[in-house]
Amino acid sequence: MPLTGHSLIAGQPVAGQGRTTFGLNPATNQSLEPTYTLLTEEQLKTATAAAAEACPSFSTLDPETHAGFLEAIADNIEAIGEELIIRAGQETGLPTALLQGEHARTTGQLRLFADVVRQGDFRGVRIDSAIPDRTPLPRADIRQRQIPLGPVAVFGASNFPLAFSTAGGDTTSALAAGCPVVFKAHNAHPGTSELVGQAVTKAVKDAGLHPGVFALIYGPGSSIGQALVADPNIKAVGFTGSRAGGVALMRTAASRPEPIPVYAEMSSLNPVFVFEGALKGDVEHIDALAQQYVDSVTGRSGQLCTSPGLLFAPEGELGDKLAAAVGRAVTASSGQTMLTEGIARSWNEGTTNLGSADGVQLIGQGTPGRTENAPAPTIFGAGVTEFTNNQVLHEEIFGAASLVIRYSSVEDLLAAARRIECQLTASLQLTEADYPTAAQLLPILEQKVGRIIVNDWPTGVEVGHAMVHGGPFPATSDSRTTSVGTLAVNRFLRPVAYQNLPQELLPEALQDTNPWHLNRRIDGRSTSALTSG
């Protein structure tokens, strides 16, 4: 597909009337063609108005048409072929194998949400039948369903040019809910965004949907991004990025005449707690545990929201052996190209600040990579007292860096856990002998994180029905939600009750004949689509 360098609004390429930008290859710092034109705030209104116009028809699609639309997006993305992987690699420096995996995740989650749409449980149908002869007062016929909020603004993430981008998790779950999407492309990978945007636009057209169902826009985050969130046609926001960026959008959304929800996934240190039992193996066992930790820290150059930025290990001989093994493992590693020059610069500033903090020592450092913007992976160490008293040790460093904290007692460990800010994940490395201590830690972690992991590492996020990729602030802006997994669709819905409506006026989901064959809760009891309607 030829790249135009323009936004896509109501099915058509639109040249921006503002400034211009272009993609950069972070491995060489060389610019990539074409030049991308940026929208003005006035042009942005065209996209949001078209999204509002698309709402009535898109929000009431029958399940089969709706699901087929999501599947068509997946098919169209696959049809782009190798061009998409090549462009994404040029714009991000990520290896081909990683991008191929991310590509599969992107199309896989589109098809997963198509299944969700067909099943329809997210519509949350509840029916309380009328009881006209109830005393002292009769009960009216009351029916409830979840309806789409309206147009959703989605912001592309820097670190996932496919799975958290144009047709990524936020876009897919919003479309599955029946919400049109205005997608703000990340300026670090504009060509990748356009290729996928063309695939989505084609699916909209082929399905005969209103062209305002999807828009891809380019513009500065400081102006166009804020204007998008402030636009009265936008009813919710999906964001993955820095805490500063997420909080800025939250402030804008809260200050509108009609405040709207912002579902922002932001910073996280993802602490790992290593118990003594997990270290009572032979040297090979400790070496393997250390290598797993370093692999989790350095994978994808550490540019994952689930990268473990903290590891708690006991003091004493066992902890010393683990720290030494970690030092050996990280020293053998080499830097990988980071996503942008700016991200690499921030990593250098963060590691400099952490390394110069009182009580912090260098455990080990790898070698820089051979490309531009590929700093050496680094792991530091400190005591639990330093961690408790110094806020610098609590700050996220986005990239291949981590901090090992040594604790002397269970009380130390529990106190440190209480001191940690809220996170996306917490991981426990343990054996059965450690269960009593872990049982004391779990209630603390339940209040701190969205996902608790045992004998595994946080950098694998399965896209499924039970996954929670969220957590209390500042990990996310709303601890009740997830941005990964099928529960993500609930973010973009709200309940409406219908009292005493005749069958002819009821939405299909609430009609007695159940034409959409939905599972429903009738008079408090779950009723299968196979036995109702």
Q: Cite the active site residues.
A: 265, 305
The answer to whether 124 and 518 have CB atoms below 8 angstroms apart is no
Run of H or E residues at 381: strand 378-383
Count the residues in the chain.
533
Closest CA to 229 of 259, 200, 187: 259
Q: Residue 23: helix, strand or coil by DSSP?
A: strand
For β-strands 520-522 and 525-527, DSSP reports them as: antiparallel
The CA distance from 481 to 485, in Å, is 10
DSSP assignment of 261-294, as one string? -EEEE------EEE-GGGG-S-HHHHHHHHHHHH
CA distance 215 to 197: 8
CA distance 357 to 380: 11
Rounded to 5°, angle at Cα 408 from 402 and 413: 65
CA distance 276 to 474: 30
CB 210 within 8 A of CB 236: no
